[in-house]
Each structure stands twice: as C-alpha cells, then as structure tokens.
C-alpha cells in the first residue's frame, strides 16, 4: 500500500517518501512520533524531519500533542478532497499564475521587438493571447473545482476547439 501511494505521489512530482510517510500515517489509527515513523519506514531521523516539515507545509500532515518522549506526534489529513484541493491551491494555482505572468510579459516583449514586422508581430501576439485565454480558462476551472469539488471542462473544450480549428 505504501509503495503504491508513493508511486502515485512520485508521478505527481513529489518525493517518494512523501507518499510513503503520508500513507503510513493515513493507515494508522493513532498519531506517530518521528522516531516511530523513521523506524517503520527505515528512514533516518533527518529524512523523517525533512519529509514531515514538507508535508506540514502542504497541510497534508499535522502535529498533534500526545504523551510521547518528545510530546509531538503526527497524523495525516484524512479528508482526501481537502488534501487534494489544498495541494492544488498551493501548487497548481501558483503555476497557472506564473504562466499567466509569463504570457503577459511575452506579449509586451513581442510588442516592443524592433526585429519583427507588423504582420508577424500581430500574428505572434494573437497566438500568445490564445494561450493566455486558455490559461485563464484553466485557472477558472481550477478555482471552480476547488470551490465545488466538481470540474466542468466545457469552457476548456470550447477554447481548445477554437484554438486548434484556427491553427489548422
């Protein structure tokens, strides 16, 4: 089970141990301290500490107070939808915003490029604007998904159809 979750997590661009550690805490009925986590996963104290800190930053693992040697233990977020939307909000939303900013900057640079002819400039700006509209729809779909846990891809399909129809 731990390795299966680790594979999926790794495929999404996270570290394998993120998936193993989260899955362990998800499956265990009680919080575990860092020493117990390291022992069960065969990880060093430093590796456990680093992975826990990263998972806490993603809000998929949280500290809880329990009577242990250190007084701190960890448990996994068990609401899977909350976990997914939190990660999407923190990670993919930043990516979409960065792409949007890059596209705006690209359009400005194309507009000022003295080496482009007017026709070429207009065509390039039109292509960049199509990409920007696509990114805007993707951002709106992502925001809608995070609000409602449902994803309506109809607007995205419409933009893609128009984009590829004109590209042919």
pTM for this entry: 0.62
pLDDT of amino acid 168: 44
For the stretch 31-70, pLDDT in tens is 999 999 999 999 999 999 999 999 999 889 999 987 766 6
pLDDT of amino acid 130: 92
Q: Using CA atoms, how far apart are residues 66 and 33, in angstroms rounded to an integer?
A: 9
């Amino acid at each position: 089970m731990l390795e299966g979750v680790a594979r999926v997590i790794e495929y999404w661009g996270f570290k394998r141990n993120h998936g193993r550690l989260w899955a362990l805490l998800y499956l265990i009925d009680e919080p575990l301290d860092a020493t117990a986590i390291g022992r069960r996963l065969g990880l060093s104290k430093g590796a456990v500490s680093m992975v826990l800190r990263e998972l806490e930053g993603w809000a998929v693992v949280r500290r809880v107070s329990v009577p242990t040697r250190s007084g701190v233990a960890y448990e996994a977020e068990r609401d899977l939808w909350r976990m997914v939307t939190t990660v999407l909000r923190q990670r993919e939303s930043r990516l979409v915003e960065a792409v949007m900013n890059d596209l705006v900057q690209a359009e400005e640079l194309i507009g000022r490029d003295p080496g482009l002819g007017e026709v070429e400039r207009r065509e390039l700006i039109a292509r960049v604007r199509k990409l920007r509209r696509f990114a805007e729809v993707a951002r709106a779909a992502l925001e809608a998904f995070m609000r409602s846990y449902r994803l309506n891809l109809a607007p995205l399909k419409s933009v893609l159809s128009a984009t590829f129809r004109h590209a042919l």
